Structure 1
């Protein structure tokens, strides 16, 4: 390990949990060169909200917003708990419920990518990447990076 890697590893070890999550999603957003990355977490009643975000523009903030309750129900929670990954290149062309499409439009989302964050095989949250300016053609490499990042977030612990 070179000296700078060792320093970065030491720095990471001493960062608090929130700073580690923020650093992780900032790095991911910059790597993917997209508009927004969020961590969406659930409470014990399975009510979710955006608890962390990384933005290309502050005007895109959705921090503390909740999902559309009538569109994101326990059925979807189970799918993500089972490891579902959802990739939408263009929300306007996806076969989704109209309430879901309207919800995404309201958040200025054009392309959407969701990976579950699983801790001890339980759904702790969702790692979500948004591109707002235009469609975004997610690649196999993007899927791998998102999955690896979700695993990294899971190792941080209770989000």
Structure 2
């Protein structure tokens, strides 16, 4: 979508420059949101195809360690978890601190991994068998998590896949559309 520039006619007696500036500010913000959405969705679609996984999601933190899945790319529509808010009891300050320090969590099989039972139950409820989570960090802290799921089978994450996820998380976190919102 191409959003127009908004400007009034200064020769018109009913022209309101403040209204024009307010409307232009709104249009500019809408454009930044559109840029962010396009960047994130394109990144998720590319990652899912590159990694060959069933689902890639962006979990965005809108409050301290509270968030939801705001974007997803799916191999099968029945795997959608769009809007999911996660298991609040599982994600706490301890986990957040690890991700703030750049933790990357690769789980090849949630059934055999040494993880908290709360986390296992949560992942199982989402039909996850293998999970790869990478932090999206901005100047303001932990903005979100970029997460890849294999849902039909286990998967041993390779170093190349982990690096690809890290690069994608950095691309998202460094985008002006993310930093300026």
Fold shared by both chains (TM-score > 0.5)? yes
1:16-95, aligned counterparts within 5 Å?
A: 16-95=35-114
* Deviation for aligned residue 1:78: 1.0
Output one character per residue of 1:116-159: Cα deviation in whole Å (capped at 9) or x when no partner. 00012611000000000101111010111010000001122157
2: CA distance, partners of 1:154 / 1:122: 10
More deviation, 65-74/34-43: 65-74
The residue number in structure 2 matching 1:12 is none
Which residue of structure 2 aligns with residue 10 of structure 1?
Answer: none
Equivalences, count: 145
Deviations 1:56-89 (A, max 9, x none): 0010000110111111112111110110000000
C-alpha displacement at 1:37, in angstroms?
Answer: 0.2
Aligned to 1:9: none
The alpha carbon displacement at 1:99 in A equals: 1.5
Shift in Å at residue 45 of structure 1? 3.0
Highest CA radius of gyration, 1 or 2? Answer: 2
What 5-or-longer segments of structure 2 have no aligned partner? Answer: 1-33
Deviating beyond 4 angstroms after TM superposition, the runs of 4 or more aligned structure 1 residues are none
TM norm structure 2 = 0.77
Task: Tell me if 1:100 matches 2:123.
Answer: no
Higher relative contact order (CA 8 A, sep 6+): 1
**Residue 123 of structure 1, aligned match among 126, 135, 142:** 142
What is the root-mean-square deviation of aligned Cα atoms in Å? 1.3
The reply to whether residue 138 of structure 1 matches residue 157 of structure 2 is yes
| Shift of residue 44, structure 1, vs aligned partner | 2.9
